[in-house]
Structure 1
Amino acid sequence: MNGDRVIGGYALRRLLGRGGMGEVHLAATPTGGLAAVKIINPALARDPAFRRRFEREVAAARRVARFCTAPVLDAGIDGDVAYLVTEYVRGPDLAEAVRDQGPLSGGNLEALAVGIATALSAIHGAGVIHRDLKPSNVLLSPLGPRVIDFGIAQLVDNDSLASQAILGTPAFMAPEQVRGEPLTPATDVFAWGGVIAFAGTGRLPFGGGAPGEVLYRIMQDGPRLDGLDEGIREVVSRALAKDAHLRPTAQGLLSELVGGIRLTTATEVVERTWTGAVTADAGLSAAWAPAARPHDSRAPDPGAPGGRRRWPWVAGAAAATALAVAAALAVPGLRQQTWPYEAGFGDAWAIGTSEGGTARQAGTGYELTVNPGWRLWKSAPRQEPETGVIVSAKATLAEGAGEYGVWCHGSASSGDRYEFVVSGSGKVTIVKRRTGTQGKILYGPANVKGAAVNRIVAECGRSGDKVTLRMWLNEGLVAEAADTDAPYGPAEAGVHAASGATGSARVRFDSFALRPVAQ
């Protein structure tokens, strides 16, 4: 017992477990509740580089939506001790449950698959990659499966390849993780496939043995999926594709798991396994998002920048998990004002040709081809949340010279917007713009280290009469600004591209997401 030890105001009660990053303790909160406190290995916590990374990762983790996760409640550094506080989840982890009671099947397995995919959708929507999804990081709470330990997952960092493989667990590592390549959310989807295969069969999909042997089989062999129910086996097989580009996204997993069936069916999957008698559609509502509107303008400054058993710990639970899962699903034909919003670019994004250029779907992506001297800006089919917004996109300047990025707090009627700009020459700017005007530069131009494919994340948060604006490029904070001169408020957000004065430009967007600023 170590009840007299207090870290960051949390009184430690008992040790819950140890891992490579440190220890996890059950603790009493300052208000008398319970929480799980992870104390980081002191050798790591004393490293200034780790402290900087820790602060960045925690900030991202705290923005993860709470669906099917154990949310990060607090974090800090107390002397030489770095700590992370998450919600305490009662219940065994998936590895313990399968060991003690055997594999899952039918509705139990379906509910688990939907719940973990929902958690990954929330985690990826916050710009975080878990990197170490495994059965011991899935807790089976009375309200359904909860994914943990994403709070210390590193954000994508192309300069930290050596650490990426270390953070993985061999049996659930994706081929690109084994090779030490930059990781993407597809890495977690591969781990999801391994976890569901394990849960449904009681076996590791690529067998056991020495880590080197397991990693070799991951690279060379197909997974062993016999014993899985046929329907879910097909989804798991796609998630375990060797080529990351062939795997569905986390949101795609949800769509495959519930397909084009009624939304209530998805909640019933959870109800019959994780909850008691609950009305499937209780409390559910749908709000239709406004249709996207195309925008383009002449650029005045183009150079500017039913299972085998009902497990005893889940009997009689409330409807919260069913509602959470339903809220996170993007079922075809039904659009809800739920967060995060992740674009598939087929859902009412504007396409067509205008004087300024062309917008079109390109496979799973979205392309803007901009005529010389013009600027195109396109709205997502979703209004911004009132609390402020995080906008993220992955973009490539595929042809020509110009600039591109995301924008927020925009208005189709006035052309007002804040643009977060990356130029082909390697500069970033934040611009307050109105259609047909030069635009007011709030930050930059500043030189940055870009890449062939750039991930752009922008934050537009409002406090009183001030809008705060921050921009990340490939997970590094590159620009900060504030606007107090009649600042714009929440409205629309989207993507933009501009060409040079004499040549056209083509920009491809491979992802786009919106989520509220954490309060």
Structure 2
Amino acid sequence: MNEVIGGYTLRRLLGSGGMGEVHLASTPTGGLAAVKVIHPALARDPAFRRRFEREVAAARRVARFCTAPVLDAGIDGDVAYLVTEYVKGPDLARAVHDQGPLSGGNLEALAVGIATALSAIHGAGVIHRDLKPSNVLLSPLGPRVIDFGIAQLVEHDGLASQAILGTPAFMAPEQVRGEPLTPAADVFAWGGVIAFAGTGRLPFGGGAPGEVLYRITQEGPRLDGLDEGIRQVVERTLAKDPRLRPTAQQLLADLVGGTRLAAATEVVERTWTGGTATPGPRPAPPDVRLAPSGVPVASVPSKTSPAPQDRPPAMSVARKRRRWPWIAGAAAFVLAIAAAAVPALWQEPWPYEAGFGEWAVGESQGGTARQSGTGYELTVKPGWRLWKSAPRQEPEGGVIVSAKAALEKGSGEYGVWCHGSASTGDRYEFGVSSSGQVTIVKRRTGTRGRTLYGPASTQSAAVNRIVAECGESGGRVTLRMWLNERLVAEASDADAPYGPNESGVHAASAATADLRVRFDSFALRPAGQ
């Protein structure tokens, strides 16, 4: 009789590794999934259980395109398990062994697919740490990067980054030396994986692990046999100094001729799945704690990066041979990207209506964001403000943002925001308080914020429908707010007004107790539609 773990029936072993075994399994609804079963000795360790929870939270934040998304996870007795989508197809290591190296458009398509996956992984605040050919599956719809078994959140596990984890042949020099890692380590591994895929050889040779690690830190890679166009890109990613490597987004731009990432990710989903593309979740903006004076005391941490390096001309992505059926979909994606100057290829239908499945979740200093049934719940600690971004950019020319929300606990305010930026904290907030007052405030993280309207009393309800408009007109932004279908506030801003960018929901608690707000719906549409 087949073993059942967490409601999943294990059918056959797919592989094993340092953390446990991966099985093909039947889901409770009769479908197929891949179930990673953690070694019991690890699963019983409280420290590992905490790390396992972080792994699951990190994996859930990664956008689904070009990866195997997490479907479920849990602990069943002494067994910890992680369930991901089952990807049918060989891994890259096996495919190169059986059929030989890739070349031309096939290799370029693979390079773009893996770079897109890294962009999504890094965009969720995760470092993979063990990118290698056996962690790239060649599905009929294109390459999928899998196995976040040793991935860690970038911002929340800095000490763990000093451990030497990963596969020696594809480690970055700083990883070999046990230094704190950045996403640049994954970019180095990308270069090694593409070099292997295009030549059939390890870029720093084989042999004893110590010998390989020495060559990684002291010698240059062997790249003869790679097509010249992609060789230039691979050489840049294999720079010894991580500051000289491109980011995953810069790498993707090199490969597809400067196409912006948002368009690239939209096209990848439409091209590979035939469905409507929805970009994955962005990293959640920082929480803001309110000092007694009302001035926020937490701000967006500054980030520094080296000056951009000169990049070689964008590669031609003409398709050549098709003896690699697993990445035919990826090749089609590359051609679609090359034609991305035609806006219709990536324009998404409006309105956008959230199911909240792709929104950021998790606990932070200021409180907790979580999915609650079909809704989205923010629990805010006393004196803090949480604001969360929708995984969809605003349209040009003005936007209407709407949400249905209910105050379930505590006192404070809640509502929607528009024309915002998770990186700077810019946004226009439209709020309704627990005492029935409405406001429109222009905010930036680290500042008090400027009230453009209110506070003004109005009639609220147990469940409120909040609608906000950010309209563009003659160098100014027109702001209007409706509460339960009644226009309750109007303002305008001509002082360095914010432009179309991101929208979302927010909540801020009073100074004495937690506040909990549940959002049952969220929608975006162009103004005037």
What is the correspondence of 1:141-156 to structure 2 with a 5 Å cutoff?
Answer: 141-150=139-148, 152-156=150-154
Partners of 1:13 and 1:28 within 8 A in 2: yes
Amino acid at match of 1:416: V
Deviation string for 1:160-184 (max 9, x for gaps)?
A: 1453x12x11110111111111111
Q: CA deviation at 1:55?
A: 1.4
SS state at 2:169 partner = helix
SS state at 1:69 partner = coil
Q: CA deviation at 1:76?
A: 0.8
The 2-side partners of 1:486 and 1:68 are apart by 30
Q: Determine the structure 1 residue equivalent to 2:159.
A: 159
Q: Determine the structure 1 residue equivalent to 2:81.
A: 83
- Rate the CA distance shift 1:262–1:487 in 2: closer, same or farther, 3 A: closer
Matched, 1:416 2:441: yes
Q: Determine the structure 2 residue equivalent to 1:383.
A: 394
Amino acid at match of 1:124: H
Q: Determine the structure 2 residue equivalent to 1:73.
A: 71
- Rate the CA distance shift 1:200–1:73 in 2: closer, same or farther, 3 A: same
SS state at 1:416 partner = strand
What is the correspondence of 1:265-304 to structure 2 with a 5 Å cutoff?
Answer: 304=297
- Rate the CA distance shift 1:409–1:120 in 2: closer, same or farther, 3 A: farther
Partners of 2:253 and 2:260 within 8 A in 1: no
Q: Determine the structure 2 residue equivalent to 1:209.
A: 207
Partners of 1:468 and 1:481 within 8 A in 2: no
The 2-side partners of 1:129 and 1:392 are apart by 20
Q: CA deviation at 1:128?
A: 1.1
Amino acid at match of 1:160: A
Partners of 2:6 and 2:76 within 8 A in 1: yes
Of 116, 119, 123 in structure 2, the residue corresponding to residue 118 of structure 1 is 116
Deviation string for 1:39-66 (max 9, x for gaps)?
A: 1122221111221222122122112111
What is the correspondence of 1:348-427 to structure 2 with a 5 Å cutoff?
Answer: 382-383=393-394, 393=423, 406=425, 410=429, 416=441
Task: Mark the runs of 5 or more structure 2 residues left unpaired by the alignment.
Answer: 280-290, 299-317, 349-388, 396-400, 404-415, 431-438, 456-501, 525-529
Partners of 2:296 and 2:445 within 8 A in 1: no
The 2-side partners of 1:50 and 1:438 are apart by 50
Q: CA deviation at 1:435?
A: 3.8
The 2-side partners of 1:27 and 1:487 are apart by 33
SS state at 2:102 partner = coil
Partners of 1:138 and 1:145 within 8 A in 2: yes
Task: Mark the runs of 5 or more structure 1 residues left unpaired by the alignment.
Answer: 271-277, 288-298, 339-378, 394-404, 422-430, 440-458, 471-479, 492-519
Q: CA deviation at 1:310?
A: 2.9
The 2-side partners of 1:285 and 1:486 are apart by 23
Partners of 1:129 and 1:188 within 8 A in 2: yes
Q: CA deviation at 1:71?
A: 0.9
Deviation string for 1:178-210 (max 9, x for gaps)?
A: 111111111111100000000000111111111
SS state at 2:126 partner = coil
Q: Determine the structure 2 residue equivalent to 1:494.
A: none
Partners of 1:469 and 1:481 within 8 A in 2: no
TM-score by length of 2: 0.59
The 2-side partners of 1:324 and 1:58 are apart by 31
- Rate the CA distance shift 1:320–1:197 in 2: closer, same or farther, 3 A: closer
Deviation string for 1:350-396 (max 9, x for gaps)?
A: xxxxxxxxxxxxxxxxxxxxxxxxxxxxx999539989999865xxx
Deviation string for 1:379-431 (max 9, x for gaps)?
A: 999539989999865xxxxxxxxxxx7466747xx86367666xxxxxxxxx9
Q: Determine the structure 2 residue equivalent to 1:229.
A: 227
Deviation string for 1:255-300 (max 9, x for gaps)?
A: 101115899xx99x99xxxxxxx999x989999xxxxxxxxxxx98
What is the correspondence of 1:123-142 to structure 2 with a 5 Å cutoff?
Answer: 123-142=121-140
The 2-side partners of 1:485 and 1:115 are apart by 37
- Rate the CA distance shift 1:433–1:95 in 2: closer, same or farther, 3 A: same
Percentage of identical aligned residues:
68
Matched, 1:30 2:41: no
The 1-side partners of 2:260 and 2:192 are apart by 27
- Rate the CA distance shift 1:415–1:124 in 2: closer, same or farther, 3 A: farther
Of 106, 109, 117 in structure 2, the residue corresponding to residue 108 of structure 1 is 106
Deviation string for 1:8-27 (max 9, x for gaps)?
A: 11000000111011100000
Q: Which of the pair has more CA radius of gyration? A: 2
What is the correspondence of 1:409-448 to structure 2 with a 5 Å cutoff?
Answer: 410=429, 416=441, 433-435=449-451
Deviation string for 1:144-169 (max 9, x for gaps)?
A: 11110126512232221453x12x11
Amino acid at match of 2:441: D
Matched, 1:199 2:197: yes
The 2-side partners of 1:432 and 1:119 are apart by 38
- Rate the CA distance shift 1:45–1:337 in 2: closer, same or farther, 3 A: farther
Q: CA deviation at 1:301?
A: 6.0
TM-score by length of 1: 0.60
- Rate the CA distance shift 1:410–1:248 in 2: closer, same or farther, 3 A: farther
Partners of 1:238 and 1:248 within 8 A in 2: yes
Partners of 1:409 and 1:489 within 8 A in 2: no
- Rate the CA distance shift 1:10–1:201 in 2: closer, same or farther, 3 A: same
- Rate the CA distance shift 1:321–1:154 in 2: closer, same or farther, 3 A: farther
Matched, 1:179 2:177: yes
The 1-side partners of 2:508 and 2:192 are apart by 39
- Rate the CA distance shift 1:304–1:35 in 2: closer, same or farther, 3 A: closer
SS state at 1:26 partner = strand
The 1-side partners of 2:22 and 2:335 are apart by 28
Q: Determine the structure 2 residue equivalent to 1:314.
A: 326
The 2-side partners of 1:233 and 1:323 are apart by 21
- Rate the CA distance shift 1:192–1:43 in 2: closer, same or farther, 3 A: same
Amino acid at match of 2:120: A
SS state at 1:62 partner = helix
Q: CA deviation at 1:243?
A: 1.2
Amino acid at match of 1:174: A
C-alpha RMSD over aligned residues: 4.9
SS state at 1:188 partner = helix
